[in-house]
Amino acid sequence: MKTCLITGASGLIGSELVREFLSQGYRVYGFDLKNNPELKHPDYHYIKVDISNELQVKKAFGKIKRLDVLVNNGAKAKPENTPLEKMKLGEWENYLSINLTSVFLHAKFAIPLLKKSSGTIVNISSTRHLMSEPHTEIYSTSKGGMDALTRSLAISLSGKIRVNSISPGWIADPKKILRKTDHEQHPVKRVGWPSDISKMAVYLASDAAGFITGQDFIIDGGMTVKMIYAE
C-alpha cells in the first residue's frame, strides 16, 4: 500500500486531500495541531505536530516507515492587512516559519524515504505569489518562496523525486452560501472547491504525471488571466 503524508490535514483543503488520497487506496498520515473528527478511516493516522518545529517534525517522521507522497499543505491563513511599516518582526517570522520553513523541514525528513520509493512532493501554494491585495506581503512572500523552492528541489532531486506545486485561487467550503457575483466574476462562473485541488494533487502524485516536475499548476477559475478595468 502506498503512503501519503499531508500537512495541515484538518483544514478545508487538507481534509479533502486526506479523503481523496484515501479513496485512491493510500495509507495517509496527517500532521496538524488539531484533528478533524470527521476524518475517520482505518488507513488514516493523525499525528499532532507543530509543522514549524523541527524536533516535533523529526519525531513524527520516526513513525513513518514508508513514504510515496508528501503534500505540503499546512499554512497560516492570510493575516489582517497590516501595513509593512507597522508589522512586528515576530509576526513576519512566525508566518514564514509556518508557511515556508515547514516545507523545508518536511522535505528534509521526507527525501530519504521518497528516494526509496521514487516518490513525489506536491506543495500547495497560492495564486498570491502572482497577484496581491494591499498589505499581504507576508503571505505573498511565503508562497513565492514555496514556488522557488519547488523549482529548485525539482532540479536537485531530478531522476529521484518529482516536485510540483499547486496554486489555488478562491477555494470555498461547498456548504457555504456565496453571492452570485462571487461566482460570476470567475471565467468558469464558480468559485473553486477543495476537490478541485485534491484531484490535481492525486494526479500529480500518480504515474500519469511521470513527465511533470518543477511546475506550478494554477487552479483559480481563470482569474489570473482575466483583464480587469475600472468602470
C-beta separation of 22 from 89 below 8 A: no
- Averaged pLDDT, 20-31: 98
Rounded to whole angstroms, what are the CA distances from 18 to 8, 55, 68, 199?
10, 24, 14, 11
Would you state the cell numbers that stand for residue 223, as one nine-digit string?
482569474
187 within a domain of the structure (yes/no): yes
CATH number at residue 77: 3.40.50.720
Over residues 26-84, the pLDDT tens digits come to 999 999 999 999 999 999 999 999 999 999 999 999 999 999 999 999 998 866 678 89
113 within a domain of the structure (yes/no): yes
231 within a domain of the structure (yes/no): no
- Averaged pLDDT, 103-110: 98
Query: Would you call 139 a catalytic residue per the annotation?
Result: yes
128: CB partners within 8 A, 6+ apart? 78, 136, 139, 140, 143
Q: Report d(CA 98, CA 190) in Å as an integer.
A: 30
The helix (H) or strand (E) run that includes residue 5 is strand 3-7
204 within a domain of the structure (yes/no): yes
Instruction: Say yes or no to pLDDT of 231 above 80.
Output: no
**What is the CB-side half-sphere exposure of residue 207 using CA atoms within 13 A?**
2
Return the DSSP state at 128: G
pLDDT of residue 133: 84
pLDDT of residue 214: 98
209 within a domain of the structure (yes/no): yes
**Active-site residue identified among 44, 95, 139, 203:** 139
Considering its fold, how many domains does the chain have in total? 1
C-beta separation of 198 from 16 below 8 A: yes
Over residues 142-199, the pLDDT tens digits come to 999 999 999 999 999 999 999 999 999 989 888 888 898 889 888 888 888 999 999 9
Over residues 195-218, the pLDDT tens digits come to 999 999 999 999 999 999 999 999
Residue-range definition of the domain harbouring residue 105: 3-225
